[in-house]
A and B are shown apart, each in its own frame.
Chain A
Amino acid sequence: MDIIRKIWNALPFPDQTKRLLIIFVFFITGWLVVRHHLVPPTFGQRGYYRAAAVDSIAALPISFVGQSQCVECHVDEGAVKTASYHRDVSCEVCHGPGAKHLDDPSANSLLPAKERTLCTVCHSYTASKPTGFPQIEPLTHNPADPCIKCHNPHDPKPPTTPSACGACHGEIARTKSVSHHASLECTFCHQTQELHKISPRAAIPGKPANRDFCGGCHSRSADSPKEIPRVDMDSHGDGHLCWQCHYPHYPEAL
């Protein structure tokens, strides 16, 4: 006690200041103890936050591994896709996230990706999509068939004529398919440039220009199978064009 008294007397302040000092020391110590227990350990190391939170977020597991990992094993698919219109479409967009597959390929297989919905999610028509992006109307574009029946998703190409005219002109194709003209290819009457498939409005297909085109099969003198109905081109139809009365895609209709 004597030592404390000596120190007390030795301090060069008035008594009331010394007592105030004790209260200050008490509160500051208390505040330091409370702060030590309440503030998380790494708080303030890098800024006004817990530095450990950054590390715990950075350590979260990933789901999508990235295309470069896929093509390490799937070399052939990668090579085909790199040169195709789908080169920017990552594998995992259609096949799903591949992290588990990468860990154990045999136990965790990915989606085979054969459904139409995987294609229509991008390629169904919406007025808001950018001009030039290839779009179809899923309800009329071969609704019963899977897309991969005609299109290779790793190397999609604009389809070829004539079987694929119906891809866009589905209504005409379906009408024609039950008519007497079913066996005629579209290109028999419509001269279609290759460009039309890529840029439809830049190269509009041709149409028959006159009666003589139909007469090529249907006139009395035509060199065509005898079951084809014949008319006298000079007297039939009063000089009207054939398609003013007959619908060429369904000629038996009146």
Chain B
Amino acid sequence: MDRREMEISRREFFQKAALSGTLLFIIGPKVKDSVAQVTESGETITHHYAMGIQVDKCIGCGRCVNGCKIENNVPREPFFYRTWIERYVITVDGDVVVDSPDGGISGFPETKEKDAILRSFFIPKLCNHCANPPCVQVCPVGATFSTEEGVVLVDKDYCIGCRYCIQACPYGARFLNPETKTADKCTFCYHRLAKGLVPACVEVCPTRARIFGEIGVRSSQLTRFMRFNELQVLKPDLNTEPRVFYANLDGAVK
């Protein structure tokens, strides 16, 4: 074969390069979109679940912790939690003391003299279901992922228990389930959402400190909460874009 036959002219090369580039540009995103947004039944998903937490309403009763354990069969002992409550005590000396005895499941025994406390409050915590989740990035097998609704889930049948995600989560929301030996975490009670219910912790919260709903749905409790409160998220500097929003969050909370 003559070497000349293999050569293509400069004009031809640029033509082909431009054509294939255009094709890739058009087809590439199209393919990705069709995978990401259409369900099996063919309808487009519009849910964007989120939770609001009114810090000044939390009484630290631990009913959410208890309810979560019952609903999700989280082992009662050793003490692992999908959601837990932290008590912050800021003393008159300026110390910040954080504790969470047994995740707050049976309340908080008084530890400080009343006179030594400057201010004190409870912070319910759970998986923040980040829009930009570090745990999903590090999973080597694709066993943890964000669903189309923005819920971060763990595929326990596919998880290899390597604990990377537990290390990666900046909120300490993950643990290794001692029974399944796989990563475990809050699912926003995905199985309840699928049945039109709210998460168990929201259902049992006696003071409505937790509010659940969808971002962007008008006339909902969550929209009202987000409209009328000054919202904060935990560790905003990490750019994880949490979907758990706190109202009246104290600056001492980390």
A residues lining the B interface (CB < 8 Å):
12, 14, 40, 43-50, 53-54, 56-67, 86, 88-90, 92-93, 97, 121-122, 124, 126-130, 133
Contact = CB atoms under 8 A, between A and B. Distances in A.
B200 A129 contact: no
Q: Which of B143, B153, B155 has the most CB of A within 10 A?
A: B155
B206 A90 contact: yes
Contact of B158 (A50, A58, A65): A50
B195 interface: yes
A67 B117 CA distance: 38
Interface stretch (B7-15, B22-30, B54-62, B230-238): B54-62
B204 A93 contact: yes
Contacts of A133: 59, 207
Q: Which of A59, A62, A127 has the most CB of B within 10 A?
A: A127
Contact of B148 (A46, A59, A122): A46
Contact of B204 (A45, A60, A64): A64
Contacts of B216: none
A58 B39 CA distance: 14
Q: Which of B57, B71, B204 has the most CB of A within 10 A?
A: B204
A88 B203 contact: no
Interface in B113-139: 114, 117, 120-122
A67 B208 CA distance: 14
Q: Which of A67, A93, A124, A133 has the most CB of B within 10 A?
A: A93
B200 A57 contact: no
A135 B197 CA distance: 31
A88 B114 CA distance: 29
Interface in B172-204: 187, 190-195, 197-198, 200, 203-204
B191 A46 contact: no
Contact of B206 (A56, A122, A126, A127): A122
Contact of A12 (B1, B158, B190, B197): B1
A46 B206 contact: no
Contacts of B110: 126-127
30 contacts: A14-B1, A46-B35, A46-B148, A49-B142, A50-B142, A53-B153, A53-B155, A54-B147, A59-B191, A60-B191, A62-B71, A62-B195, A63-B71, A64-B192, A67-B203, A86-B206, A92-B67, A92-B203, A121-B63, A121-B106, A126-B60, A127-B110, A128-B60, A128-B87, A128-B122, A129-B59, A129-B60, A130-B56, A130-B57, A130-B121
B70 A63 contact: yes
Contacts of B143: 49
A48 B108 contact: no
A17 to B, nearest CB: 10
B107 interface: yes
Nearest to B67: A64
B16 interface: no
B112 interface: yes
Contacts of A61: 191
A63 B58 CA distance: 23
A56 B155 CA distance: 9
Contacts of A14: 1
Interface in B43-79: 56-63, 67, 70-71
A124 B107 contact: yes
Contacts of A121: 61-63, 106-107
B153 A90 contact: no
A43 B142 contact: yes
B6 to A, nearest CB: 10
Interface in B217-247: none
A127 B120 contact: yes
B190 A58 contact: yes
B165 interface: no
A81 to B, nearest CB: 12
A57 B112 contact: no
A215 B112 CA distance: 46
